[in-house]
């Protein structure tokens, strides 16, 4: 891996961990802030809202070199996670989580552009996938580690380490990421011109529906593993590592396949795997082996489509809207997370907490994502662009 991509992957790691670690430390945080578990769920929502508002940084930072933007995003992450570690009441933690979420979508839009620009010809998607790998590794190692820290020492330690990681990433970016010219300045309105075409909307709707479908199940994976699979609570962190391992492999595989095939077709394949996995969550009675296997497969599917979808949107925004287009993927991703949690929760309520129905509620939505991507690939990917993908090989 190029050092520049490694620095970007480090940034993806801290943001991925900051987003998902709250799910593992929610009980301890709720107790410390003296609020109920449902009220503590607002700490997750505050981060997601920050992701959406943070895109405005790109609107007004379009003339700033992408490398400088990455440093700015890490500085904001440093502030947000430091405040989270030292907050004294619930409103302060809500504000800190909002600040922590501000750089998320903007970072991935900017990092995707840098990774694509610095990639060898024909390996753009692999480069993007290696950057995104930082987020998947966060799910595999960072989130379980944060959960263990909360149980053994303090939940504040998790945010303290993330703040230190953000500071380290600032130094890595300064040292390893080369200068990349700012995108073409087309004004505020011009940055959103790509949204006047139907193609990007197919991709964004696919991201939203695909994540909504998976998060109907993923939001309740811990009780599903225990109630349906029979796993003791002490083994859940290890199974989160298994899910994270699937995410890492899915991200790498998606990048490699995208470089030799069609990006939207690759994403459609990923969403198809997710739909089948969710159907099996509903159909299979559930035991130790089946729930562990489905945890791995659905984790694989969740990030198998990251590189192709990020690349599709950056390509759609060419001509001045690349950063906004790349960030839009993360906005759709987070909206899908929030809606999926609501839909899955409604399914549980309607079925007297039958966790099989988290799969059934998500499966049709995932199929809709497949349909959006099939329409896109039939309309806009009429060939594999083989000539453009050719690269010189030295013997």
List, for residues 297-312, the tens digit of each pLDDT value. 999 998 898 888 888 8
**Does 392 have pLDDT greater than 60?**
no
Query: Is 0.85 surpassed by the pTM of this model?
Result: no
Tokens 């199940």 sit on residue: 217
Positive or negative: CA dihedral 276, 281, 287, 292: positive
pLDDT given at position 386:
47
Dist. CA 91–CA 102, nearest whole Å: 17
Task: Enumerate long-range contacts of 58-65, CB under 8 Å, 24 or more apart.
Answer: 58/106, 58/109, 58/110, 58/191, 58/323, 58/324, 58/327, 59/188, 59/191, 59/324, 60/188, 62/182, 62/183, 62/185, 62/191, 62/320, 62/323, 63/182, 63/185, 64/182, 65/179, 65/180, 65/181, 65/182
* Residue 360 CB neighbours (<10 A): 18
Dist. CA 356–CA 93, nearest whole Å: 34
Tokens at 276, concatenated: 């089948």
Task: Specify the length of the chain in residues.
Answer: 395
Q: Higher-confidence residue: 59 or 213?
A: 213
CB 57 within 8 A of CB 72: yes
CB 169 within 8 A of CB 3: no
Percentage of residues of the chain with pLDDT beyond 90: 41
If DSSP states are collapsed to H, E and C, what string results for 123-160?
A: CHHHHHHHHHHHHHHHHHHHHHHHHHHHHHCCHHHHHH
pLDDT in tens, 16-39: 889 878 877 877 888 899 888 667
Mean pLDDT value of segment 350-378: 94
Mean pLDDT value of segment 225-251: 86
Q: Higher-confidence residue: 134 or 5?
A: 5
Mean pLDDT value of segment 69-97: 95
Tokens at 165, concatenated: 């990681």
Dist. CA 313–CA 327, nearest whole Å: 9
Phi, psi of 300 (to 5 degrees): -60, -45
Mean pLDDT value of segment 39-44: 78
pLDDT in tens, 172-205: 999 999 988 887 777 778 888 888 999 999 999 9
* Residue 122 CB neighbours (<10 A): 15
Tell me, rounded to whole angstroms, the distance of Cα 234 from its chain centroid.
26
All domains in the chain, ordered by first residue? 1-180 (1.20.1250.20), 186-383 (1.20.1250.20)
pLDDT given at position 394:
56
Mean pLDDT value of segment 243-252: 88
Tokens at 12, concatenated: 């993806």
pLDDT given at position 251:
86
Mean pLDDT of the chain: 87
């Amino acid at each position: 891996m190029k050092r520049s991509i490694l620095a970007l992957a480090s940034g993806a790691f801290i943001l991925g961990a900051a987003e998902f670690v709250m799910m593992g430390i929610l009980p301890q945080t709720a107790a410390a802030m003296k609020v109920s578990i449902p009220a503590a769920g607002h700490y997750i929502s505050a981060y997601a809202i920050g992701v959406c508002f943070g895109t405005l940084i790109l609107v007004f930072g379009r003339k700033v070199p992408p490398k400088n933007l990455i440093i700015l995003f890490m500085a904001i992450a440093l502030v947000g996670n430091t405040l989270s570690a030292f907050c004294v009441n619930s409103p302060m933690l809500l504000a800190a989580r909002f600040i922590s979420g501000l750089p998320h979508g903007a970072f991935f839009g900017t990092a995707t552009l840098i990774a694509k620009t610095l990639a060898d010809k024909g390996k753009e998607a692999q480069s993007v996938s290696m950057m995104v790998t930082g987020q998947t590794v966060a799910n595999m190692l960072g989130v379980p580690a944060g959960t263990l820290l909360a149980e053994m020492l303090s939940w504040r330690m998790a945010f303290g380490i993330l703040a230190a990681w953000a500071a380290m990433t600032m130094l890595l970016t300064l040292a390893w990421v080369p200068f990349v010219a700012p995108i073409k300045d087309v004004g505020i309105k011009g940055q959103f011109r790509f949204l006047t075409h139907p193609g990007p909307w197919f991709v964004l709707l696919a991201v939203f529906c695909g994540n909504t479908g998976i998060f109907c199940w993923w939001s309740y994976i811990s009780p599903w593993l225990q109630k349906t699979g029979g796993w003791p609570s002490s083994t859940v962190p290890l199974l989160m590592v298994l899910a994270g391992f699937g995410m890492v492999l899915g991200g790498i595989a998606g990048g490699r396949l995208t470089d030799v095939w069609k990006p939207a077709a690759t994403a459609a394949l990923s969403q198809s795997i997710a739909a089948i996995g969710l159907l099996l969550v509903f159909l299979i009675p559930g035991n130790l082996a089946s729930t562990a296997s489905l945890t791995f497969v659905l984790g694989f599917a969740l990030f198998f489509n990251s590189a192709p979808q990020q690349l599709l949107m950056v390509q759609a925004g060419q001509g001045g809207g690349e950063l906004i287009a790349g960030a839009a993927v993360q906005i759709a991703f987070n909206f899908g997370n929030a809606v999926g949690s609501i839909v899955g929760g409604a399914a549980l309520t309607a079925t007297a907490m039958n966790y099989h129905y988290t799969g059934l509620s998500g499966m049709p939505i995932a199929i809709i994502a497949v349909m959006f991507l099939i329409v896109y690939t039939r309309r806009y990917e009429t060939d594999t662009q083989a000539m453009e993908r050719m690269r010189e090989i030295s013997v």
